[in-house]
């Protein structure tokens, strides 16, 4: 038996596109089908949302929020462990994360690991912190290719800040 596909719809306005064969645009909003055609099984508007029932210090133990969900463009989870687009938590993992331990593209925290890391201890391509390690490291103690420091270890160029 062949696989049944779910009914297609317009990702912009939600119009049901079932049976549309003679148009390259959505009849409702005019969006080009190559850009707006979706099926429920791969609906980009459906993000992930999860919050554990277990709480600690008033916060959920685990909160996960990533991608679009209803009217939200991004997930903004808050919890002891927060995972998502813009997480906030004791341990935060995601694109722009804030936490005591923060991991992501742009983490901020006591211990930050990521592309552009800011924190007490920062490890990343660009690191800013009391202890900074990375390609471009700026900090009290900095280690990396190009460092700005009070105390440094460098394989490349070092600039002392005073």
- Structure confidence by residue, pLDDT tens digits, 41-71: 555 556 789 999 999 999 999 999 998 777 7
Question: Domains in the chain: how many in total?
Answer: 3
Residue 62 and residue 26 share a domain: no
Residue 135 and residue 116 share a domain: yes
Residue 118 and residue 81 share a domain: no
| Per-residue confidence (pLDDT) for residue 149, from 0 to 100 | 67
Residue 120 and residue 85 share a domain: no
Residue 112 and residue 161 share a domain: yes
- Residue 1 CB-density burial (10 A; 0-12 exposed, 13-18 middle, 19+ buried): exposed
150: nearest Cα among 135, 125, 134, 129: 129
Output the average pLDDT for the chain. 82
Whether pTM > 0.85 for this model: the answer is: no
Range of the domain at 60: 45-98
Which residues of 28-107 form beta strands (DSSP E)? 37-38, 48-51, 55-56, 59-60, 62-66, 78-84, 88-94, 98-104
Residue 69 and residue 24 share a domain: no
| Per-residue confidence (pLDDT) for residue 113, from 0 to 100 | 94
Residue 151 and residue 114 share a domain: yes
Residue 150 and residue 136 share a domain: yes
| Per-residue confidence (pLDDT) for residue 2, from 0 to 100 | 47
pLDDT tens, the chain, 162 aa long: 444 557 777 777 878 888 887 888 888 888 887 776 665 555 555 678 999 999 999 999 999 999 877 777 889 999 999 999 999 999 999 999 999 999 999 999 999 999 999 999 999 999 999 988 888 888 888 788 777 766 655 555 556 654
Residue 162 and residue 110 share a domain: yes
Residue 75 and residue 52 share a domain: yes
């Amino acid at each position: 038996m062949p696989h049944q596909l779910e009914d297609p719809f317009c990702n912009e306005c939600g119009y049901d596109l079932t049976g549309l064969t003679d148009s390259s645009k959505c009849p409702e909003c005019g969006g080009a089908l190559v850009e707006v055609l979706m099926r429920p099984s791969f609906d980009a508007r459906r993000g992930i949302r999860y919050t554990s029932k277990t709480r600690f210090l008033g916060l959920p133990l685990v909160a996960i929020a990533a991608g679009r969900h209803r009217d939200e463009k991004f997930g903004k989870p808050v919890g002891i462990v927060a995972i998502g687009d813009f997480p906030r938590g004791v341990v935060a993992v995601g694109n722009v994360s804030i936490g005591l331990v923060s991991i992501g593209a742009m983490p901020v925290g006591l211990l930050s690991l990521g592309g552009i890391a800011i924190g007490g201890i920062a490890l990343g391509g660009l690191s800013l912190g009391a202890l900074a390690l990375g390609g471009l490291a700026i900090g009290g103690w900095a280690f990396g290719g190009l460092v700005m420091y009070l105390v440094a270890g460098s394989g490349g160029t070092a600039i002392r800040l005073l």
